């Protein structure tokens, strides 16, 4: 009786531990998305800042990028953002001494609210952004809302200035494009070389050579990414800088080269396994018909293992997209949409790694970085599921 | 078929094979040039003082002792958590579940967990362990984060190891009247052990080199003393290499230290790989698996 109970108990414990991975995936989803999606409830203004206008102004809400354009003086008339034809007068605290003397404001700025209110009412086109505590209780000026961060402008926006003042700019398009760009170029480098190595190991090399190659490739996979990054930083970056005569060597190309080297083991191992799965009888039939070994490889082995090879390529891209440290160290981290490989770029993982340390917990920047994490998670999840299901189909197909 | 055609076919084959051979040698060449370059530049830095002394003069002199201790703490912590759970999970999946939807689901989730980028583990560890559960930046938070990262590797190798044990062993044991648990304990696990240990050693290698998950959960730039409890922050080798090669105050002067740290990291991976291979070879001889 007791023995049976103990057996059941142990089985229960084993079962519980088998649920840990599922639980972790679920928890990751819950935490990532609850933090990440809450960025869309945030106003782009810093702290408890508010936007205050003259009460006659017809504008009732304003987007984050418009605020930036107004303060960069790219938008100079209210007409452009739905108001009346009146030029915009900026008020910034740097220029406060042009308006008021220190005595007028009082030693602890106690007269500032009243002064601000009357200043805003005297100029019909004025806009000011300041902390809520400087707002007069019986204010005549009009407070308007900054639009909340919206998902469309988040994905589609091309400016990433998460700490900009007065309004943060959260456009992740340059980061997404940078990530995909660097990763795809890396696979373009790595796939031909990796595939050739896999074919060599599976079909051409003798047993002895294979016994040398296999552990070396395992070792290549085991080297920490920060060591690759370090190597890239001291060897590849200066090399690129001098051979292309660039001001800086930290470029997308450097990232792609390092990622290509790092993706090689994945591509080689997965495609070698796929090539090896070709049934012996098919190869022998081809050879018996007079085909050379090379013809057999091209006409029989590669077509047969096509889906495995494509899985290798996709997995390689997945690895490259998620890689953080090496890319962070060699790509130069400029959050602009890349046009050539010889410019600095910035990827999603590198952005998270570089900025999360400085972002105050639960602030808008912190949440935006979690939202980036969500995008990264979704991209890699899709890649994993794709590989998983395509390999299942392959197994059933056999 | 004329003689000319045959020789043309042979020529094409020869050219293709030579290209493959050269590309493969190129891959080997890349690996050996990376290893060779770093070892050549850094091996002089690594000596007894380097691995037993504290960093001095803003990381430009002295050693990396606290970073080594920190990495050992993180390896131990993450393995205490991940190894038992991983092995138990692997046993359950391979020995108790038949080809059911549950098994496929758990395997799918494990594969997904393995594919999640390490920086996402870092984000998750920070949100759950550091902030939500209030562990702060600590060995505890860092070890749990790294443990989750190592979990899929351990589960998968355990599963593979158990799968390679021939069913005749299980049948023989069960036929002698042993219970399922006794069979696993006395027969299946001992046979699968070399491969499980290999997986364990390789996951240590993985954990010791990861940087992104510990950035926000445990790693410190510089600490003058060693950790005294699991609630302390620690320095760690990969993070140390990252900061002194990119964001130190005097990058040029700490270059030698950076080479040395990289050499130590490579040596750890190299030695672990050798041990894993040795375990696989020597323990594997004791029991024949198919």
Q: Quick check: B290 pLDDT over 50? A: no
Average pLDDT of chain A?
Answer: 86
Closest CA to B31 of A218, A157, A54: A218
For the segment A19-43, the average pLDDT, to the nearest whole number, is: 90
As given in the structure block, the two tokens for residue A82 are 């739905």
Q: Please state which of the ranges A131-135, B9-13, B95-99 shows the lowest mean pLDDT.
A: A131-135
Q: A116 and A195: one domain?
A: no
Q: Quick check: A341 pLDDT over 50? A: yes
CATH of the domain at A282: 1.10.3720.10
Residue ranges of B 101-140 with Cβ closer than 8 A to chain A: 105-106, 108-113, 115-124, 126-128, 131-132
Sheet holding A61-62, edge to edge: A61-62, A142-146, A49-53, A126-131, A89-91
State how many domains chain A has: 2
> Which residues, listed in sequence order, are joined to residue A160 by a DSSP beta bridge?
A170
Tell whether A24 is covered by a domain.
Answer: no
Would the CB atoms of B17 and A10 count as touching at under 8 Å? no
Q: A264 and A369: one domain?
A: yes
Would the CB atoms of A21 and B210 count as touching at under 8 Å? no
Closest CA to A356 of B141, B130, B226, B207: B130
CATH of the domain at A56: 3.40.190.10
The pLDDT of residue B287: 59
Residues B157, B158, B161, B164: is their CA dihedral positive or negative? Answer: negative
Q: A129 and A203: one domain?
A: no
Q: Per-residue confidence at A30, pLDDT binned at 50, 70, 90?
A: very high
Measured between beta carbons, the chain A residues lying within 8 angstroms of B110 are 21
Q: Per-residue confidence at B286, pLDDT binned at 50, 70, 90?
A: low
Among chain A residues, CA nearest to B206? A222
Q: A105 and A180: one domain?
A: no
Tell whether A43 is covered by a domain.
Answer: no
Domain interval for residue A283: 173-397
Q: A71 and A185: one domain?
A: no
Tell whether A267 is covered by a domain.
Answer: yes
In CATH terms, the superfamily for domain B67-286 is: MetI-like (1.10.3720.10)
Q: A231 and A368: one domain?
A: yes
Q: A82 and A118: one domain?
A: yes
Please determine, for the modelled complex, whether the ipTM score is greater than 0.85: yes
For the segment A311-332, the average pLDDT, to the nearest whole number, is: 90
The pLDDT of residue A128: 82
Residue with the two structure tokens 């796929």: A274
Q: A211 and A356: one domain?
A: yes
Q: What is the pLDDT of residues B144-200, one digit of tens each?
A: 999 999 999 999 999 999 998 889 999 999 999 888 889 999 999 998 998 899 889
Q: A188 and A137: one domain?
A: no
Tell whether A38 is covered by a domain.
Answer: no
Q: What is the pLDDT of residues A167-177, one digit of tens each?
A: 888 889 999 99
Q: What is the pLDDT of residues B206-253, one digit of tens each?
A: 899 999 999 999 888 888 788 888 888 899 999 999 988 887 667 777
Residue with the two structure tokens 């981290």: A333
Among chain A residues, CA nearest to B276? A215
> Rounded CA gap, B19 and B9, in Å?
15
Measured between beta carbons, the chain B residues lying within 8 angstroms of A183 are none
Tell whether A35 is covered by a domain.
Answer: no
Q: A103 and A198: one domain?
A: no
Tell whether A30 is covered by a domain.
Answer: no
Would the CB atoms of B127 and A370 count as touching at under 8 Å? yes
> Rounded CA gap, A312 and A379, in Å?
16
Would the CB atoms of A356 and B215 count as touching at under 8 Å? yes
Q: Quick check: A44 pLDDT over 50? A: yes
Residues A328, A330, A334, A336: is their CA dihedral positive or negative? Answer: negative
Q: A108 and A61: one domain?
A: yes
- Find which of A21, A38, A198 to mutate to test the B interface (most B CBs within 10 Å of its CB): A21
Measured between beta carbons, the chain B residues lying within 8 angstroms of A323 are 117
- How close is the nearest chain A Cα to the Cα of B255, in Å? 10
Residue ranges of B 271-290 with Cβ closer than 8 A to chain A: 272-273, 277
Closest CA to B120 of A135, A132, A63, A29: A29
Measured between beta carbons, the chain A residues lying within 8 angstroms of B21 are 200, 204
Q: Name, in order, each residue with C-beta under 8 angstroms of A396's C-beta and a sequence gap of 6 or more.
A: none
Tell whether A326 is covered by a domain.
Answer: yes
Would the CB atoms of B242 and A329 count as touching at under 8 Å? yes
Nearest-CB residue to B20 (from A14, A204, A349): A204
Q: A194 and A280: one domain?
A: yes
The whole-angstrom distance between residue A125's C-alpha and the CA centroid of its chain comes to: 39
């Amino acid at each position: 009786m007791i023995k049976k109970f103990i057996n059941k108990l142990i089985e229960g414990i084993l079962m519980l531990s088998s649920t840990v991975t599922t639980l972790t995936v679920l928890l990751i989803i819950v935490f990532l998305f609850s933090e990440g999606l809450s960025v869309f409830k945030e106003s782009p203004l810093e702290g408890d800042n508010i936007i205050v206008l003259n009460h006659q102004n017809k504008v009732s809400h304003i987007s984050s990028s418009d605020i930036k354009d107004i303060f960069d003086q790219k938008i100079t008339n209210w007409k452009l953002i739905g108001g009346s034809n009146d030029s915009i007068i900026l008020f910034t605290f740097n220029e406060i001494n042009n308006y008021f003397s220190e005595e007028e404001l009082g030693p602890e700025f106690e007269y500032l609210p009243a002064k601000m209110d009357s200043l805003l009412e005297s100029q019909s086109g004025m806009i000011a952004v300041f902390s809520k505590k400087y707002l007069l209780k019986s204010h005549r000026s009009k407070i308007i809302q900054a639009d909340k961060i919206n998902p469309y402008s988040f994905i589609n926006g091309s400016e990433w200035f998460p700490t900009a003042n007065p309004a943060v700019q959260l456009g992740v398009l340059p980061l997404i494009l940078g990530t995909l760009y660097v990763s795809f170029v890396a696979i373009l480098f790595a796939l031909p070389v990796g595939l050739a190595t896999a074919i060599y190991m599976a079909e051409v090399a003798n047993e002895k050579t294979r016994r040398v190659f296999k552990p070396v490739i395992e070792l290549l996979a085991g080297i920490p990414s920060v060591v690759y990054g370090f190597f890239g930083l001291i060897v590849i970056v200066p090399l690129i800088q001098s051979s292309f005569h660039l001001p800086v060597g930290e470029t997308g190309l450097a990232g792609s080269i390092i990622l290509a080297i790092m993706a090689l083991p994945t591509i080689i191992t997965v495609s070698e396994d796929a090539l090896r799965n070709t049934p012996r009888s098919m190869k022998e039939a081809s050879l018996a018909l007079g085909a050379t070994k090379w013809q057999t490889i091209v006409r029989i082995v590669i077509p047969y293992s096509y889906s495995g090879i494509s899985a290798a390529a996709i997995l390689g891209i997945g690895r490259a997209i998620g890689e953080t440290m090496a890319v962070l160290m060699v790509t130069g981290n400029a959050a602009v949409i890349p046009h050539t490989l010889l410019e600095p770029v910035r990827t999603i993982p590198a952005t998270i790694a570089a900025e999360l340390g400085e972002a105050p917990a639960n602030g808008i920047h912190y949440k935006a970085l979690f939202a980036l994490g969500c995008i990264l998670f979704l991209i890699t999840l899709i890649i994993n599921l794709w590989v998983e299901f395509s390999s299942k189909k392959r197994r059933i197909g056999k | 078929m004329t003689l000319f055609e045959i020789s043309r076919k042979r020529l094409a084959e020869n050219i293709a094979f030579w290209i493959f051979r050269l590309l493969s040698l190129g891959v080997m060449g890349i690996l050996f040039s990376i290893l060779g370059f770093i070892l050549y530049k850094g091996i002089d830095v690594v000596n007894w003082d380097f691995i037993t002394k504290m960093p001095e003069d803003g990381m430009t002199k002295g050693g990396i002792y606290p970073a080594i201790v920190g990495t050992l703490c993180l390896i131990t912590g993450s393995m205490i958590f991940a190894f038992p759970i991983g092995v138990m999970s692997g046993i359950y999946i391979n020995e108790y579940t038949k080809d059911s939807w549950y098994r496929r689901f758990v395997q799918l989730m494990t594969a997904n967990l393995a594919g999640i980028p390490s920086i996402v583990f870092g984000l998750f560890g920070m949100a759950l362990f550091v902030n939500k559960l209030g562990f702060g930046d600590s060995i505890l938070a860092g070890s749990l984060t790294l443990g989750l990262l190592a979990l899929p590797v351990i589960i998968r190798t355990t599963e593979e190891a158990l799968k390679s044990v021939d069913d005749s062993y299980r049948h023989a044991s069960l036929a002698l009247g042993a219970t399922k648990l006794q069979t696993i304990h006395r027969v299946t696990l001992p046979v699968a052990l070399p491969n499980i240990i290999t997986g364990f050693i390789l996951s240590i290698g993985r954990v010791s080199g990861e940087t992104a998950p510990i950035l926000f959960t445990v790693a410190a730039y510089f600490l003058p003393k060693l950790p005294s409890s699991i609630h302390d922050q620690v320095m760690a080798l990969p993070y140390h290499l990252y900061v002194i090669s990119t964001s130190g105050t005097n990058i040029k002067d700490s270059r030698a230290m950076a080479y040395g740290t990289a050499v130590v990291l490579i040596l750890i991976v190299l030695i672990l790989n050798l041990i894993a291979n040795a375990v696989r070879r020597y323990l594997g001889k004791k029991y024949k698996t198919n």
